[in-house]
Amino acid sequence: MRGTRKLSSVIILLLVLLLLPIAAWTSRNAKPPANEIGPPELELERGRKLIYERSFSSEREVRPNRGFWHRLVDVIAGEPDFKNLVRPYSIATDSHGRIIVTDPGAGGVHIFDFAQQKYKFIERREKDKDAMLGPQCVAVDAQDNIYVTDSETGKIFVFNSGGKYQRAIGSLKGGEGYFKRPTGIAVDSAAQRIYVTDTLRDQIFMMDMQGNILQTIGKRGGGDLEFNFPTELRLDGQTLIVVDTMNFRVQVLGRDGAFRYTIGKLGDSSGDIFRPKGIGVDSEGDLYVVDGLWGVVQVFNRDGQLLYYFGQRGTGAGQFQLPTGLTIDHDDRIFIVDSYNHRIQVFHYFGSKKTTREGM
């Protein structure tokens, strides 16, 4: 009697523990793949066009087709804890096409490598020395080293292309950070310069690669070379483009810090700028400016004229909720951080001509 009871217990145990995950797996796999219907293709003048490609939000999407053994382990032990975008902010791409996203909500930096089907998450929250607490903006240099501003600790963290910590710039004795609130960052590998905006100081710092300050650019105000909470930075050719947030404009400077011109003004019409966030420049030199409140991306030419815009507020494909960072790779793929929708949306711009841009 006791032996029969034990045998039945074992059978029940095996049934429950094996059939349950299989049932869960089959029911999960029975789901039809979600067909992401994006916005219609945007036809532009002179045969140019902008199309929506896709979005992604998780480590899971880096390797969508897992092998048999991986799937078997997934069934028995459950899928790994994939990292998801929590509150992504800034974005950059490197020479290998990897997409690097800062995520203050997750307390780290995501590296998506779709080509190699690899993913890495960089974090330093638990470190006793030089902990990274509020990763804000990101840039890469010619060697694909990753530079991350930390608005909470007031430092800049440098990681190599593999995500290994190299050093912290602006780390003072006692653990304090030199910068009050570092946000935007850009790296000029050719000239060995790092540009960082200190939003609370209303200034841009030009440094060498060791973090020695060579020049400070700007002061508080509303005139030329004056800033009111500057944030994102982008290098393009011989220019340094600065988002001058509370002056509701984008200032274009030379790499030496000399003023050149501004784009945008305050307003709530097309072509006006209300809450400028990320910026980028495509292969034709047109400037893309994300407006966080309206949920659109406006595209200006170098004369400051609005060419077109795309996006609207919402949760669907091609729609944004509090978009923040933007970057454009060498193939004119536009990566936009859709922060409140916890995802990155990818568009592809097809221009009418090939142009060669200076620098970079």
Partner 1 sequence: MAGVLRNSVFVVAGLLLLALPTAGQVTLGELSTNASGTISAGYNGDYGNQISSDHSLALGGSGTFSGFYYNPNFVSFTVSPYLNQARDNSAFQSISNASGVSASSNIFGGSHFPGSINFAKAYNSEGNFSVPGVANYTTHGNSETFGINWAEIVPGLPTLSANFQMGNAQYSIYGTNDNGNTDSHSFSLRSGYTLKGFNLGAYFGDGAGHSETPQILDNSSEPLITSSSSRDYGFNVGHALPLHGQFASAFGSSKFSSDYAGGSDTGTVDVYTASAIFQPTQKFNFSFSTDYSTNLSGSLYEAVAGAGGITQPLNLGQGTHSLDLLGNASYSVMANMRAQAFADHREQYYLGESYGSSSYGGGLTYWRPLFGGSFNAALTLSDNTASTSNQNSLGINSTVNYNRRFSDGWVVGGSFGYSQNVQTALISYLTSAYSYGGSVRKRFGKFGWSGGAGVTKTLLTEVAGSSNTSETFNTSIFYSHWLTANGNYSKTSGTAIQGAFGLISNPIPQPIVPESDLILFGGKSYSFGLSSSPVRRLTIGASYSRANTDSTQVGVLSNDNTKMINAVVNYQFRKMYFTGGYSNLVQGFSASGLPAANVSSFYLGVSRWFNFF
Check binding of 8 to partner 1 (CB under 8 A).
Answer: yes
Element (H, E) at 5: helix 2-29
Report in angstroms the alpha-carbon separations of 332 from 50, 92, 111, 117, 313: 10, 13, 20, 21, 23
Please list, in sequence order, all residues whose beta carbon lies within 8 angstroms of the beta carbon of residue 29, skipping any fewer than 6 positions away.
Answer: none
CA dihedral 149, 146, 241, 180 (to 10 degrees): 10
Contact 75, 20 (CB under 8 A): no
Check binding of 12 to partner 1 (CB under 8 A).
Answer: yes
Check binding of 34 to partner 1 (CB under 8 A).
Answer: no
294-307 burial string, b = 16+ CB within 10 Å, else e?
Answer: bbbbbbbebebebb
Neighbours of 67 (CB within 10 A): 9
Retrieve residue 119's tokens.
Answer: 């993913």
For partner 1, what does the binding mask look like between residues 47 and 86, x meaning CB under 8 A? --------------------------x--xxxxxx-----
237-251 burial string, b = 16+ CB within 10 Å, else e?
Answer: eebbbbbbbbbbbbb
Among 5, 46, 173, 353, binds partner 1 (CB under 8 A): 5
- Shortest distance in whole angstroms from residue 176 CB to partner 1: 12
- Shortest distance in whole angstroms from residue 32 CB to partner 1: 11
Coil, strand or helix at 229: coil
Among 6, 164, 167, 265, binds partner 1 (CB under 8 A): 6
- Shortest distance in whole angstroms from residue 105 CB to partner 1: 21
Question: Which CB atom, from 73 or from 191, has the smaller least distance to partner 1?
Answer: 73
Using CB under 8 A as the binding rule, the residues of this chain from 91 to 120 that contact partner 1 are none
Q: Name the one range near partner 1 by CB under 8 A: 8-16, 101-109, 282-290, 319-327.
A: 8-16
Among 3, 32, 67, 128, binds partner 1 (CB under 8 A): 128
- Shortest distance in whole angstroms from residue 84 CB to partner 1: 14
Among 16, 213, 214, 360, binds partner 1 (CB under 8 A): 16
Q: Beta strand pairing status for 287-291 and 296-300?
A: antiparallel
Residues that bind partner 1 (CB under 8 A): 5-6, 8-10, 12-13, 15-17, 19-21, 23-24, 27-28, 30-31, 73, 76-81, 128
